[in-house]
Every structure is written in C-alpha cells, then in structure tokens.
Chains A and B, each alone.
Chain A
C-alpha cells in the first residue's frame, strides 16, 4: 500500500494567492482528516470527512479555508486568499471506521509558506 499521498510536498506562494492542497487517502478507508501544525499551536484538526461527507469542520479557522472530498480517493484543502499566518505544515490522514477506528494513518504533509 502506498499510504496516504499528499501533494505538493512544499508550496511557496505570495499573500493573496489561492492555494490548493491535495490528498489521496488509503484505499478502503472511509474517514479522512485534515490537520495543521505550527510551532505556536501544535497539531490541530481542521476538518474531517466520513464517506466523503464533512462531519466536523469546527477547526477550520475562517471562511478563507474550504475542503472538499468529491470521491473516496481524493480530497482538497483550499485557502483563498492566503495570508502569511497560514504558513504551516498541513497533514492529511485517513482511517477505517467501524468499532474504535482511531488508528489514523498520516501522510507526509505539505509545507506551506506564504510570503
């Protein structure tokens, strides 16, 4: 299994530009999670999906952030417009539900720098 795949691995953009982060979960997993990690705030859950449906987006910082999951094998996290304070490492994770289901598998992350 290839594991969770994220792209790009690194992204450098200028303030005001649109940024799209991509994630391919592990095949067969029905939960997908987006996290953000910064030195100041640590690892925070932004949003998660179950069977492609957003379940909890209470961690999404503001309307500039949006996430979609058009099918079971693909999800995007979009920031529009981006700001320097959005600079962070963004992780995608997936897991298989049913029972306890909290063995989440994380991708390698996307390091975003907004200038």
Chain B
C-alpha cells in the first residue's frame, strides 16, 4: 500500500471549516483513499473513502486531486467534538487475501478551539 504523509497537528476555530491534507504521491490506480478518526480514549471511526471522484457524506467531504497524489478531508463546520487524530490511509480495495488490512500512520491531531 502507498505511503501517506500528514501534518502532525492542526488547529481550527469552532464553526469554521477544517481542511486536513494528505499526500500520497505513490498511489496506484487501484488504490483508494480512506479517512478514519480517533477521538481520545475511543476506537477509530470510519469517516469517508474515495477513488478519484470527490465524495461527500454526512460527516465530511473528500477532495482528491486530479493526479490523485494528494487529498483533503473537509469538515465543513468543525465543532469541539471533532477534536481527534485523523488518519489518511491508502490501500487496494478488493475482496479476499490480505487486502483487508488497514495500516494506520501517525495521523494529524486536529484541535478545534472555541
């Protein structure tokens, strides 16, 4: 699976949009970008994933550049409860074998300030 690079920490004001970047310059054509987050003392939580088109769900939006070498997770109106470590993961998404493994890096600690 391709390696990802994320800033170790970011700050965001409550109510503003939080934009979390991720670089994955070695991504392959069949690899998806996944985002998980981990709120303090809880298990990680799935947020969103995408291949090449931008994706949106009730939690966030995922913007993937045209060359797919980087992406941005957007929390449109950050709240204090969004303070967490955010993990960007790149992996092949097909069924079977060892392809269900998720490799978590160090992620980005997003702190939402009042």
Do A56 and B43 touch across chains, with their CB atoms under 8 A apart?
A: no
Do B98 and A109 touch across chains, with their CB atoms under 8 A apart?
A: no
Partner of A102, one of B41, B49, B106: B49
Interface residues of A in 26-53 (CB under 8 A from B): 31, 33, 42-45, 48, 50
A100 — which chain B residues lie within 8 A by C-beta? 32, 49, 93-95
Number of B interface residues at 8 Å Cβ cutoff, please give it.
23
A-B contact count (CB 8 A): 62
Do A56 and B106 touch across chains, with their CB atoms under 8 A apart?
A: no
The answer to whether the Cβ of A70 comes within 8 Å of any Cβ in the partner chain is no
In the complex, what residue of chain A is closest to B38 when comparing beta carbons? A43
Do A56 and B101 touch across chains, with their CB atoms under 8 A apart?
A: yes
In the complex, what residue of chain B is closest to A91 when comparing beta carbons? B43
A55 — which chain B residues lie within 8 A by C-beta? 97-98, 100
Do B46 and A31 touch across chains, with their CB atoms under 8 A apart?
A: no
Number of A interface residues at 8 Å Cβ cutoff, please give it.
27
A104 — which chain B residues lie within 8 A by C-beta? 44, 46, 102
Shortest distance in angstroms between A17's beta carbon and chain B's nearest beta carbon?
25
The answer to whether the Cβ of B91 comes within 8 Å of any Cβ in the partner chain is yes
Interface residues of B in 57-100 (CB under 8 A from A): 91, 93-95, 97-98, 100
Do B44 and A106 touch across chains, with their CB atoms under 8 A apart?
A: yes
B41 — which chain A residues lie within 8 A by C-beta? 109
Q: List 26 A-B contacts (CB under 8 A).
A: A31-B100, A43-B44, A43-B104, A45-B102, A48-B101, A55-B100, A56-B101, A91-B43, A91-B44, A93-B43, A95-B100, A99-B95, A100-B32, A100-B94, A101-B100, A102-B91, A102-B93, A102-B100, A102-B102, A103-B46, A103-B49, A105-B46, A106-B42, A107-B43, A108-B42, A108-B43
Q: A42-B104, A95-B100 are in contact. List 14 more A-B contacts (CB 8 A).
A: A43-B44, A45-B103, A48-B100, A48-B101, A93-B44, A99-B93, A100-B49, A102-B32, A102-B100, A102-B102, A106-B45, A107-B43, A108-B43, A109-B42
